């Protein structure tokens, strides 16, 4: 029976743990499809019109675009790590796209499309943002409970 797995990926050490978890748990199964998903904040197009302040802004925007290119390469490295666990390269997909509303909603939207059986999330214990808002893993788990398998790794 095929298994479709979604791994939200944000280039952290915890994301590497999630990849290792998937590799160890599902690496022996033949019919596994994996999607690495990263939602990024798009860099706006900036019209400088010979303004020295805007020139500084455009340099920062160029740096962010460069970082996004590096992130694409990092996703390919994560894909290679999954291949090393024995998954077929054609069954591993990298979904790198602009965030629509927020990360949790984008993950839930993907689940609603009915494509995934399993989502593998991780938590950042001690992350200060969790004191002010619900964590992504809590929001996704609450929403998809009973609909798909959710693994939360640390």
pLDDT digits over 15-40, tens only? 899 999 999 999 878 899 999 999 88
Whether the predicted pLDDT of 70 surpasses 90: no
Q: Rounded to an integer, what distance in angstroms lies between the CA atom of residue 87 and that of residue 28?
A: 8
Is the entire prediction scored with pTM above 0.85? no
110 and 136 in contact (C-beta within 8 Å)? no
pLDDT for 118: 87
- What ranges do the domains of the chain cover? 3-10+35-92+102-153
Residue partners of 35: CB distance under 8 A and separation at least 6: 4, 5, 6, 7, 92, 93, 94, 95, 110, 115, 116
3-state secondary structure at position 88:
coil
pLDDT for 134: 54
pLDDT for 104: 84
Name the percent of the chain lying above pLDDT 90: 27
Backbone angles phi, psi at 55, to 5 degrees: -60, -40
């Amino acid at each position: 029976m095929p298994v479709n797995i979604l791994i939200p990926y944000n280039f952290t050490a915890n994301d590497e743990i999630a990849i290792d978890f998937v590799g160890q748990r599902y690496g022996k199964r033949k019919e596994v499809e994996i999607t690495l998903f990263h939602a990024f904040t798009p860099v706006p197009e900036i019209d400088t019109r010979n303004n020295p302040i805007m020139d500084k802004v455009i340099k920062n925007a160029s740096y962010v675009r460069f970082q996004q290119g590096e992130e694409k390469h990092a996703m390919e490295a994560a894909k290679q790590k999954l291949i090393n666990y024995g998954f077929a390269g054609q069954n591993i997909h990298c979904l790198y796209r602009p965030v629509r509303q927020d990360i949790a909603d984008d993950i839930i939207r993907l689940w609603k499309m009915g494509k995934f059986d399993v989502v593998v999330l991780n938590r950042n214990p001690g992350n200060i943002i969790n004191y002010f808002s619900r964590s992504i893993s809590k929001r996704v788990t609450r929403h998809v409970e009973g609909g798909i398998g959710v693994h939360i790794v640390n």
